[in-house]
């Protein structure tokens, strides 16, 4: 009886374990890596397009930072220590050259004003004295040396008067003991660090900073691979973040002769005219071109064709029914198209959509 039960149980186990739906499906045969037929290409949403020949290929695209040239940022300080009576501008306000920024009461200017008044009083006397003694000397009443001494005293008094008047004029000081701080250049008030009643010192932080953003500069990081190709005089087109249309243009002024060991880049500076949307401190991409150099040949493809794989820019080239990744050198992007300096020839077919699917497919193989 036990033998019969054992045989019945074993038969039931064999029947259950042999059901067709429990058998693993056979692995489908696969072709070479990257090989897809027309139906598979359509199902994956892959669109193909030939690469186009591109003329006047730029040297490259590098990161940059919009800055101000040294002469376009000026700190306004007080020549005399004192107390702010009135602050006449606010941060961000546009000002003209010579416009009043603040009025400061400075006791030291009263001393200079008093010295100027004494010098001017002495000046009238010295002139009369010099003229009288000069007449007497010509008539032979006195020795000529006395007339010479009077003229020397007149010159000293005139110099003292001019110097005091110049100092008070440069300081914008009035005879009432106040100094008017004025904008030395036209531009925008970048910072205001004083309030009415606050002390203003000659050694403290500048109460005002004026920036003239009519002319900008551009600090560029030239990667090591482009360092030997970039030189002063080359043109620069600026692309704001997320934009493919240039917002401004300029020209490279200088290129550092040394390589930064940390960034492995060479610093360069370019001039940049005023452009809408560009402000100091903004990060941009800069397309460097060499109009005076030989024409550079290259190709352009839709920007969607270029992807990042293994720390390199690559495209998927379609040939003989297969897709294969290929490394390329990107130098510029504009109008939805990416310009390549090498890695692809005109007429070669690349995938311009479905690139993510191709990456996953080839990674799975």
Provide the CATH number for the domain around residue 312. Answer: 2.40.420.20
Residues 273, 225 within the same domain: yes
The per-residue pLDDT for 175 is: 64
pLDDT band of 127, cuts 50, 70, 90: confident
Whether 84 shows a pLDDT value over 60: the answer reads: yes
Quick check: is 191 in a domain?
Answer: yes
Q: Which of 236, 259, 269, 252 is nearest to 70 (CA)?
A: 269
The per-residue pLDDT for 27 is: 36
Quick check: is 246 in a domain?
Answer: yes
Domain of 273, in residue numbers:
60-68+213-289
Residues 229, 282 within the same domain: yes
d(CA 144, CA 146): 5
Tokens of 66: 């919009």
Supply the angle between the helices 144-171 and 107-139 in degrees, to the nearest 10: 160
The CATH number assigned to the domain holding 222 equals 2.40.30.170
3-state DSSP call for residue 304? helix
Quick check: is 30 in a domain?
Answer: no
296-335 pLDDT tens trace: 778 889 989 999 988 889 999 999 889 999 999 888 776 6
CA atoms 71, 72, 73, 75: torsion sign: positive
- The answer to whether 331 touches 60, Cβ cutoff 8 Å, is yes
Quick check: is 47 in a domain?
Answer: yes
pTM here is: 0.58
Residues 77, 204 within the same domain: yes
Whether 209 shows a pLDDT value over 50: the answer reads: yes
The per-residue pLDDT for 338 is: 87
Quick check: is 334 in a domain?
Answer: yes
The per-residue pLDDT for 171 is: 57
Residues 254, 278 within the same domain: yes
pLDDT band of 125, cuts 50, 70, 90: confident
Q: 356 or 116: whose pLDDT is higher?
A: 356
The per-residue pLDDT for 12 is: 40
The per-residue pLDDT for 32 is: 64
Residues 188, 95 within the same domain: yes
Residues 360, 307 within the same domain: yes
146-195 pLDDT tens trace: 878 888 888 887 787 777 666 666 556 666 778 888 899 999 999 999 99
Residues 228, 170 within the same domain: no
- The answer to whether 291 touches 331, Cβ cutoff 8 Å, is no
Quick check: is 152 in a domain?
Answer: yes
The per-residue pLDDT for 318 is: 93
Number of domains the chain is built from: 4
């Amino acid at each position: 009886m036990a033998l019969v039960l054992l045989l019945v149980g074993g038969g039931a186990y064999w029947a259950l374990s042999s059901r067709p739906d429990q058998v693993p499906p056979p692995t489908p045969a696969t072709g070479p890596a990257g090989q897809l037929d027309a139906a598979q290409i359509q199902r994956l949403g892959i669109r193909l397009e030939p690469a186009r020949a591109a003329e006047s290929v730029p040297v490259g695209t590098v990161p940059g930072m919009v800055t101000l040239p040294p002469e376009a940022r000026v700190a306004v300080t007080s020549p005399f220590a004192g107390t702010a009576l009135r602050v006449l501008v606010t941060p961000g306000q546009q000002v003209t050259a010579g416009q009043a920024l603040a009025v400061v009461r400075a006791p030291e200017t009263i001393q200079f004003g008093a010295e100027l008044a004494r010098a001017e009083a002495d000046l009238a006397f010295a002139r009369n004295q010099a003229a009288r003694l000069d007449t007497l000397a010509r008539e032979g009443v006195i020795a000529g040396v006395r007339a010479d001494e009077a003229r020397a005293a007149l010159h000293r008094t005139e110099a003292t008067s001019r110097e005091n008047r110049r100092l008070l004029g440069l300081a914008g000081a009035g005879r009432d003991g106040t100094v008017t701080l004025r904008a030395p250049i036209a531009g925008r008030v970048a910072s205001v660090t004083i309030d009415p009643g606050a002390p203003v010192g000659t050694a403290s932080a500048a109460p005002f900073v004026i920036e003239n953003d009519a002319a900008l500069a551009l600090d560029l990081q030239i990667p090591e691979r482009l360092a030997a190709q970039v030189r002063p005089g080359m043109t620069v087109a600026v692309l704001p973040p997320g934009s493919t249309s240039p917002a401004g243009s300029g020209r490279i002024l200088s290129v550092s002769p040394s390589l930064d060991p940390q960034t492995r880049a060479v610093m360069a500076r370019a001039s940049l005219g005023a452009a809408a949307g560009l402000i100091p401190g903004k990060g941009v991409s800069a397309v460097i071109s060499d109009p005076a150099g030989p024409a550079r040949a290259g190709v352009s493809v839709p920007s969607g064709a270029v992807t990042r794989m293994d720390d390199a820019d690559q495209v998927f080239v379609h040939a003989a029914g297969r897709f294969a990744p290929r490394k390329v050198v990107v130098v510029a992007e504009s109008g939805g198209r990416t310009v390549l300096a090498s890695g692809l020839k005109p007429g070669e077919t690349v995938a311009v959509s479905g690139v993510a699917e191709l990456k996953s497919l080839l990674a799975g193989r």
